[in-house]
Structure 1
Amino acid sequence: MNERLSLALAVEAVSLPEGRILLLRPPSDLHLEGLPGDPVAVQGFKPDHDALAARGLSVSPDLNGSHDAAVVFVARAKALTYDLIALACAQLPEGATIVVDGQKVDGVDSVLRHCRKFFDVGEVYSKAHGKTFSFPSSTAPHGWAAMPATKDGFVTRPGVFSADGIDAGSALLAEHLTGVSGRVCDLGAGWGYLSRAVLAQPDVTSCSLIEAEHDALDCARANIDDARATFHWEDATRWTGGAFDVVVSNPPFHTARKADPSLGRAFITAAARILTPQGRLLMVANRHLPYEETLNATFAEVRVLTDQGGFKVIEAKKPKRQRGRK
């Protein structure tokens, strides 16, 4: 359980007023005890959103209403963190409290140094490989609020996967989508690059974009104008839609900053679950990731279509019936 904020409040290193407290992208394991007032969260990552909601916290992917103070949780993407601080500054009255909490591995030390240049930062509380600090709200520095960006002809936002443009793995997979047809699912669709490539195929009847990051899905809606596309803010590993003729995927493989192949394995299992008996999965993965055992356990036919530039494109056909699967 992430207790650093609660501990910082308990020792009065930082303080929050009674009232409506805005939590910007809180982690799913945030320790909620000790938070004063009426905390409300903005969390656009579906698994964390659902976990927080299940714990009874008021949570939404979008910002709503007015607030008396805010807590910004440092994100892996530095540009996103500064955008969140700018959002808090714009949302709160002048002088209202903004608390920042984050891990060292996510760059909280750098964020602290930058905040000290522009804000009146108070006591810094260090605990559990991270820091918590606060300052009165004022006008955010120029450039901290994220502006709409277009990369390689696609709308992107800070914090989404490959925000700086098309990633090499997806580009390689796109080369193998020629001839895709029928009902297609883009599992972990991001801002829509692979789905646009899918929809360029004339025999595709529909394409369902499944994406856990709300901001990325908003970008996908801006990038794709095709009646065959549908957009679903869902955790791809738990989604129960189907049945599809083809699943395409560039699955994530990180939890925080650590490589976590179990995410990719969960995507493979999900693909097998939502495909028709004769369906196929087309996926790309970093060469070193050990997915073969899971692929062979869930599909009758598996082959590597190409292996280049550190990536492998894999085709898996005929999902095996798993025990308990209908």
Structure 2
Amino acid sequence: MDAKSEVLLRQPELFSGNILLVNAPQDQLSQSLDATVSIWSWNFADHQYFLQSGYHSVFDIVPPQQTFDQAIIFIPKAKELLNYVLEHCAAILGQDKPIFLVGEKKAGIEGAAKQLQAFAKPVKIDSARHCQLWQVKAQQQHQVKPLEAWLKHYQYTFKQTHLDICALPGVFSQDHLDIGTQQILPFLAQVKAGKILDFGCGAGIISAILAKSNPKNHITAVDIDAFALHSTQLTFARNNISPQLTTIAITDIRDVDGRFHAIVSNPPFHQGIKTHYQASENLCQFSKALLRSAGELWIVANRFLNYQPFIENSFGHCQIKSDQNGFKVFYANKK
């Protein structure tokens, strides 16, 4: 059982009725509560876990639109994402219904609890297992701001073409172009045209550049995160290239069907506050099966992430196209 769930179960009398669990970990908390539980998750792996466990789970950027008596929020990493989640939960619950906030001290629960002050004075319920549990009851009815109010935008220009990148709360590098992506952008003009897979699409800048640079390119953008997938859709809509895009929620490269002329990725290596390499290592090992003859793999990664042996083991070779600013650009093709 996750430590945060253990803290909740120290106070079982607090939880009853119809409960919305938000961003919950993969454990047995749901079946341990004497309540009717629904899940709101934007992580596709978590969503799949709860579906397979027999629970009502919604994978979306908004919570299920039904009546709840309580909400239990496991704090996300991004402060602005927590503001977004709190506003949606307060709106769907209404006045005087408890919103519980739980998280680890090292993940910033004490700072997160201060964000509850926008709704009422929060109360600390418990502190154990290096975690804290807080509660607040909204003193008035809250309205959800339009999605546009939560969007961050930044501009990118290439070959006299201007792109407007859109990103929702919690999406990697929400308000600026990250250093890793900067390193692979000069090589996108070399990527083989046709059907292209963007693994870990984020806000969609790599996908959008590939689509805008060649109207014949069709991009399949995949990610584990609902906010990332929706951000990519918004980026394509803002730049009038939506017909060139397909988005798919996945947990791993092995969830992808189809054959592609190229796979391009600035792969994630964090889940929450924890470092997680498995998805990226699987990309290196299993992407070859998704490529057509002479298909290409392009990956940019932090220099300390040693993906080269995985790529060489799969493809028989691996070129380092660039090594600067702390990032390497790896290339291989299916011979």
- How does the TM-score come out when normalised to structure 1? 0.88
Q: Which residue of structure 2 lines up, in the alignment, with residue 59 of structure 1?
A: 57
1:207 counterpart (196, 216, 219) = 219
Structure 1 pair 252–200 and aligned structure 2 pair: CA distance change class (3 A): same
Q: Say whether the 8 Å CA contact 2:94–2:140 is kept in structure 1.
A: no
Asked whether the 8 Å contact 1:89–1:138 carries over to 2, the reply is: no
Tell me how far apart the structure 2 counterparts of residues 193 and 257 of structure 1 sit (CA, whole Å). Answer: 24
C-alpha offsets along residues 22-78 of structure 1, whole Å, 9 cap, x if unaligned? 112212235223323211111011111111211122101232222111111100111
2:77 counterpart letter in structure 1 = R
User: Residues 137 and 68 (structure 1 numbering): CA distance in 2 closer, same or farther, change over 3 Å?
Assistant: same
TM-aligned CA distance change 1:139 to 1:163, over 3 Å? farther
Distance 1:204 1:288 in 2: 36
How far, CA to CA, are the matches of 1:128 and 1:237 in structure 2?
A: 35
Find the residue that maps to 1:176 and give its secondary structure.
helix
C-alpha distance in 2, partners of 1:80/1:235?
Answer: 21
**Farther off after superposition, 289-298 or 218-227:** 218-227
Please point out which of 256, 263, 273 is paired with 1:257.
Answer: 273
Q: What is the aligned partner in structure 1 of residue 158 from structure 2?
A: none
Equivalent residues of 2:180, 2:327 under 8 A apart = yes
SS at match of 1:169: helix
Gaps of 5+ in 2: 156-163
8 A contact 1:210–1:235 mirrored in 2 = no
Q: Which amino acid aligns with 2:280?
A: G
Give me the whole-angstrom Cα distance separating, in 1, the residues matched to 2:144 and 2:215.
44
Given the superposition, is the C-alpha separation of residues 295 and 249 from structure 1 closer, same or farther in structure 2, using an over 3 Å criterion?
same
> What's the counterpart of residue 153 of structure 2?
150
1:86-139 deviation digits (Å, cap 9, x = unpaired): 211111121001111111222101112443575233343122221112122234
| Alignment RMSD | 2.5
| Residue in structure 2 matched with residue 175 of structure 1 by the alignment | 186
SS of equivalent residue, structure 2 residue 116: helix
C-alpha distance 144-9 of structure 1, shift in aligned 2 (>3 A)? farther
Q: Secondary structure at the match of 1:197?
A: helix
Counterpart for residue 304 of structure 1: 320
CA spacing shift, 1:183–1:82, aligned 2, 3 Å: same
SS in 2 for 1:216: helix
Aligned mates of 1:117, 1:227 — CA distance in 2: 41
For the residues of structure 1 that align with 2:313 and 2:16, how far apart are their CA atoms?
Answer: 54
Q: What's the counterpart of residue 220 of structure 1?
A: 232
Question: What is the CA-CA distance between 1:140 and the residue it aligns to?
Answer: 8.6
Give the letter aligned to residue 2 of structure 1.
D
Residue 171 of structure 1: how far off its partner (Å): 2.1
| Counterpart secondary structure, 1:191 | coil
Q: Please state which structure has a larger fraction of its residues in helix.
A: 2
- Asked if structure 1 preserves the Cα contact closer than 8 Å seen for 2:124 and 2:132, the reply is no
Unaligned 5+ segments in structure 1 are 320-326
* Cα 1:5/1:260, change in 2 over 3 Å: closer
- Whole-angstrom CA distance in 2 between matches of 1:143 and 1:57: 26
Deviates more, 1:222-231 or 1:244-253: 222-231
Matched residue, 2:198: 186
The counterpart of 2:294, out of the listed 251, 274, 278, is: 278
Distance change (3 Å), C-alpha of 1:133 and 1:317: same
Deviation at 1:176, TM superposition (A): 0.1
SS in structure 1 of the partner of residue 230 of structure 2: helix
Match of 1:166 in 2: 177
- Give the Cα–Cα distance (whole angstroms) in 2 for the partners of residues 202 and 123 of structure 1: 55
Q: Residues 255 and 231 of structure 1: is their aligned pair in 2 closer, same or farther, counting only changes over 3 Å? A: closer
